[in-house]
Amino acid sequence: MRALTRACVLGVTIGLSAPGNASASELEGTGWRLLNITSMDDTIDVPDDPSKYTLEFAAENRAAMVADCNRGAGTWSSDSPPQLTFGPIAATRALCLPPSLSEKYLAQFEWVRSFMIKGGHLFLATMADGSIIEFEPLPPVVATVLGDEIRARDVPEMQAIIVTRLFDRYAADNGIEVTESELDAYIDRVRRGIAAGGLTAADDLTPDERLEVEAMRRQMGHAMIRQWKINKSLYESYGGRIIYQQLGPEPLDAYHQYLEEREQAGDFAILNPDMRPAFWRYFTDVSMHDFMKPGGDDEANAFATPPYQ
């Protein structure tokens, strides 16, 4: 999730305030996934994974939402388009892993007052243009994972969704968490590295920009530490070859074996047969990777030092 300037969507904001040719029939039976939420405070919140934030306009004016680890349902009405309102949204209230837009996303719907479809995208405007919510159409269903349908436009997107969801479950099942002390140690290490490199760009930042940079560092640190712990656990369970990756060592053979087990157990299924070979190619094509020497020092020490030390 990242914050950006609002200026790039001002044209859409103005357009939503004016009468248009939109009709309620354009919405019924359609499904969308979130691209961003533009707020009145000049920021844009972008989901880390658009597939985790969806909106469907069903028949009989029913609405369904996915909001990260939560689900929502309610009603919608558009008696005089482009007017659009939602009834009360009944939603689960699970605590999703950071960075999550679950609460902010679900909170928008009670304030929605109008909509516009422009360039194939759906834009919802809340009361007094407090927020502009932009969606793109849901892609086709190409796979399932942990009981959920997966919509993706290509193999990399499908692969990322499947692997991310399975790793989330793996971390939960194995008690893999990131502590505040580990995160603080990571941030301190980053700061010392910046100081040692003589980098001074942060000196010119405003207080708000400093807070934003700090939040981004913590999000990145959380993701890196958590994935390192997952990788270490998988390697200890399955062994195999390790490859060099920019964000740290990756136990490729362990990934492969774990995913094969999960597929055989029915935790995921690739429904589009044309996408299946490309999904597995990353894990089977040795020409794509730079492997650590078996029995060498790099392999022996791959998971000896966590990223916060």
Instruction: Collect all residues with Cβ–Cβ distance below 8 Å to 228 and sequence separation of at least 6.
Output: 248, 303, 306, 307
pLDDT in tens, 260-304: 999 999 999 999 999 999 999 999 999 999 999 999 999 999 999
Q: How far apart are CA 243 and CA 249, in angstroms?
A: 6
**Which domains can be identified in the chain, with CATH numbers?**
7-138 (2.40.128.270), 142-300 (no CATH)
Average pLDDT over residues 57-67: 96
Instruction: Collect all residues with Cβ–Cβ distance below 8 Å to 241 and sequence separation of at least 6.
Output: 251, 252, 253, 291, 292, 294
Q: What is the mean pLDDT of the chain?
A: 90
No. of helices (H) and no. of strands (E), the chain = 8, 13
Closest CA to 68 of 89, 86, 87, 47: 47
What is the model's pTM? 0.76
Confidence of residue 18 (pLDDT cuts 50, 70, 90): very low
- b/e sequence 94-103, b meaning 16+ C-beta within 10 Å: eeebebbbbe
Backbone angles phi, psi at 109, to 5 degrees: -65, -35
Residue 22 confidence (pLDDT): 58
Confidence of residue 1 (pLDDT cuts 50, 70, 90): very low
pLDDT in tens, 275-286: 999 999 999 999
Q: How far apart are CA 266 and CA 188, in angstroms?
A: 42
| Residue 193 pLDDT greater than 90, yes or no | no
Confidence of residue 201 (pLDDT cuts 50, 70, 90): low
Residue 205 confidence (pLDDT): 81
Residue 7 confidence (pLDDT): 36
Residue 64 confidence (pLDDT): 97
Report CA-CA distances (Å) from 140 to 46, 51, 150. 22, 11, 8
Residue 42 confidence (pLDDT): 82
Q: How far apart are CA 189 and CA 97, in angstroms?
A: 23
Confidence of residue 19 (pLDDT cuts 50, 70, 90): very low
Confidence of residue 98 (pLDDT cuts 50, 70, 90): confident
Closest CA to 36 of 141, 157, 122: 122
Residue 10 confidence (pLDDT): 39
Q: How far apart are CA 229 and CA 223, in angstroms?
A: 10
| Residue 168 pLDDT greater than 50, yes or no | yes
Residue 88 confidence (pLDDT): 96
- Name the CA dihedral angle for 26, 27, 33, 37, rounded to a multiple of 10 degrees: 100
- Residue 156 carries which side chain, given as an amino acid letter? P
| Residue 15 pLDDT greater than 90, yes or no | no
- b/e sequence 172-182, b meaning 16+ C-beta within 10 Å: eeeebebeeeb
| Residue 20 pLDDT greater than 50, yes or no | no
Average pLDDT over residues 213-241: 94
Maximum mean pLDDT: which of 49-53, 95-99, 201-205, 283-287: 283-287
Closest CA to 91 of 79, 108, 113, 78: 108
The distance of Cα 119 from the centroid of its chain, to the nearest Å, equals: 23
Q: How far apart are CA 173 and CA 181, in angstroms?
A: 22
pLDDT in tens, 106-150: 999 999 999 999 999 999 999 987 999 999 999 999 999 999 999
Confidence of residue 13 (pLDDT cuts 50, 70, 90): very low
Residue 41 confidence (pLDDT): 84
